[in-house]
Structure 1
């Protein structure tokens, strides 16, 4: 689905990949409803939108709360007149610890935001998208959603749930006007990784000269995601690391898991 003159909802629009998705979509001629839980960061997204800000609306929503999500389509349509697509980008990682050390409250929060938040948004907006001439759902999973990463097992489980739910949704909607894309970013240089005190995802291939993680810029990730959306791709791998690990994991899952486990030791 070409995004020009379409109305797209983006979750996590207050920063990182989400903000870059918003700005990229606006630059391509779309109208955007940016969703986030943080008013301050959403305001910064509006500021960065510049001359395109008149085509941007902002919505403070906690996607863990079903009632709040269910009220969102009406607000978006009241502002923009329609809704043609959604990009479920919002998500959080867990602390870089093993399952045995992770408390149940943190486990629940990761699953509620990453999986249930995506599910709530998808199921709530789908009836409206089915009424449009063409619609699109893009759900952001993760490289950790197809590859086990020690220290991020619950995060990976939540993103694996997003993966399989999205692939199932694709099959269910094959004969409709709504296209579905699932995205697997590798390491991206955003605050989601820095919030864990690492400065970057621990599961990334290393730059052998600098001995630092190789991370994709958020702007690059956003461009890859929107390109996949416009081409109605079934599956999008964002970043060289995601592409490499996808091939390795398909060829030899055990070896891929050992490879990631070895890289994790760099941070201990």
Structure 2
């Protein structure tokens, strides 16, 4: 799908990968409806973009189904149509084993990552199907195929996004809507603090592992939109674990456990 002149909805546009996707889409000539719970974050994205009327802020919680159902009408009122939706907004869980994780945390993660994505897909699919060419992009995670200890529920929520997206691809195969699932590895964003999660001593002054800059993550996502890719990984870690998890799921799971298990100590 072409970027210039098209109207693209981006969730999580107030920070991190979502902000970078919004900024790069705007720089390439798209109009962007930025969606985020953080009003000041969206205002900063608008300031950085300096794109005038080509950027519209929509402050809402994607877990609020009624608010999301009203969003297509609001975007169409501002821009006249919707050509693509990029679902990026998400949270991680507290770094705890499932046995120690409260149900309130489990429900929060599932509500944002899975139900928020589902709400957006259901709300916008009619508008996308009405376009001659459209795109739907959902961001899953490396954790969907390479489980991280202490992030079991996060991984489960992103695995649900993976299967949902792949099934939507199959259901929309003979339509005008291209469907893409994205698998980021470790990205240098503030997702932990934005999720209300403390990494404690494991965080230090910098991550103990190499992360991919959000600017690069955004480039991968936008390239996937342009090329109508079925799937894309972000970062060497995601690509490596993607291959290893196919060859030997047990080896991949054990390797991740040894590398990341320290976050639980």
TM-score by length of structure 1 reads 0.94
| Structure 1 stretch displaced more, 212-221 or 193-202 | 193-202
Are the counterparts in 2 of residues 141 and 184 from structure 1 also a CA contact under 8 Å? yes
How far the C-alpha of 1:108 sits from its partner, in A, is 0.4
How far the C-alpha of 1:217 sits from its partner, in A, is 0.3
How far the C-alpha of 1:193 sits from its partner, in A, is 3.0
1:70-149 correspondence runs (5 A): 70-149=69-148
Determine the structure 1 residue equivalent to 2:165: 166
Decide whether aligned partners of structure 1 residues 199 and 44 sit closer, same or farther in structure 2, where only a CA change above 3 A counts.
Answer: farther
Alpha-carbon distance in structure 2 between the residues aligned to 1:201 and 1:160: 25
Alpha-carbon distance in structure 1 between the residues aligned to 2:249 and 2:200: 27
Which of 218, 222, 228 lines up with 1:222 in the alignment?
A: 218
Decide whether aligned partners of structure 1 residues 73 and 196 sit closer, same or farther in structure 2, where only a CA change above 3 A counts.
Answer: same
TM-score by length of structure 2 reads 0.95
Whether 1:20 aligns to 2:20 is yes
Are the counterparts in 2 of residues 200 and 215 from structure 1 also a CA contact under 8 Å? no
Whether 1:249 aligns to 2:248 is no
Determine the structure 2 residue equivalent to 1:198: 199
Decide whether aligned partners of structure 1 residues 199 and 124 sit closer, same or farther in structure 2, where only a CA change above 3 A counts.
Answer: farther
Alpha-carbon distance in structure 2 between the residues aligned to 1:254 and 1:132: 43
How far the C-alpha of 1:38 sits from its partner, in A, is 1.0
Unaligned runs of 5+ in 1: 203-209
How far the C-alpha of 1:211 sits from its partner, in A, is 8.3
Whether 1:233 aligns to 2:232 is no
Alpha-carbon distance in structure 2 between the residues aligned to 1:214 and 1:233: 26
Are the counterparts in 1 of residues 93 and 109 from structure 2 also a CA contact under 8 Å? yes
CA RMSD after TM alignment: 1.7
Whether 1:213 aligns to 2:209 is yes
Alpha-carbon distance in structure 1 between the residues aligned to 2:213 and 2:231: 20
SS of residue in 2 equivalent to 1:139? strand
Are the counterparts in 2 of residues 140 and 183 from structure 1 also a CA contact under 8 Å? yes
SS of residue in 1 equivalent to 2:107? helix
SS of residue in 1 equivalent to 2:188? coil
Are the counterparts in 1 of residues 202 and 262 from structure 2 also a CA contact under 8 Å? no
Alpha-carbon distance in structure 1 between the residues aligned to 2:207 and 2:27: 36
Alpha-carbon distance in structure 2 between the residues aligned to 1:211 and 1:114: 23
